[in-house]
Amino acid sequence: MKPGKSARNITYPALLGAVSLILLYGSAISPTGAIGLVALAGLPCAGVVIAGGTTAGLLCWATVSLLGLLLVPDKFCVLLYAAMFGLYPVVKSVVEGMKRNVWSVVCKLVFFNLSCTVVVWVTKAVALDGLPLERFPLALIYLAGNVVFLLYDFGFSRLIGAYLSRMRKGTNWRKG
């Protein structure tokens, strides 16, 4: 191992985790665009997965989720990050390693629907008033959510491609 390599292996995921936490905190204090900032907070975790593998990505996700519970005032934003957007880069890395396009899309949609269900259940259990989305049929919400999630996945893949071409470190993304 080269001198200084171990320090880089620690500081890079820590720095990207701090960026995720700042974006997560920003989502809590932002009057509009909170879900967009939570989705953006999941992007630095992809950099951790690329640089350090799935284990480093899971550690980054767990650390940001726990610190978010302690520091971020809006716990719904932390729930969205912990259940969906923070964990998604790790899931995406594992699923896209299967090399089957149709199967990977199905697995991603299953992940989204499961995480969306967790968010709905936890929110209903904690919030006495329930969700403001209850006036719409739940099937319609899931259908629209799946379409938006596929668009998010496409954009996420494009951003990862741009990151890989910029950093020239694409070897760890699919190896995990």
- Each domain of the chain, given as residue ranges in start order, spans 5-167
Query: pLDDT at residue 5 above 70?
Result: no
Q: Which of 23, 31, 35, 29 is nearest to 133 (CA)?
A: 35
- The pLDDT of residue 128 is 53
Q: What is the pLDDT of residues 41-99, one digit of tens each?
A: 999 999 999 988 899 999 999 999 999 999 999 888 999 999 999 999 999 999 988 87
Kindly report the number of other CB atoms within 10 A of residue 67's CB atom.
Answer: 17
149 pLDDT above the threshold of 80: yes
Whether the CB-CB separation of 24 and 74 falls below 8 Å is answered with: no
Mean pLDDT of 15-39: 91
pLDDT score at 3: 54
**Domain 5-167 grouped into CATH 3.40.50:** no
pLDDT score recorded for residue 59: 93
Distance CA 50, CA 45 (A): 9
Which pLDDT value is given to residue 129? 58
pLDDT digits (tens, 9 = 90+) for 12-24: 889 999 999 999 9
pLDDT value of position 133: 60
Q: What is the pLDDT of residues 127-136, one digit of tens each?
A: 755 556 667 7
Mean pLDDT estimate for the chain: 86
Both structure tokens of 71? 């520091």
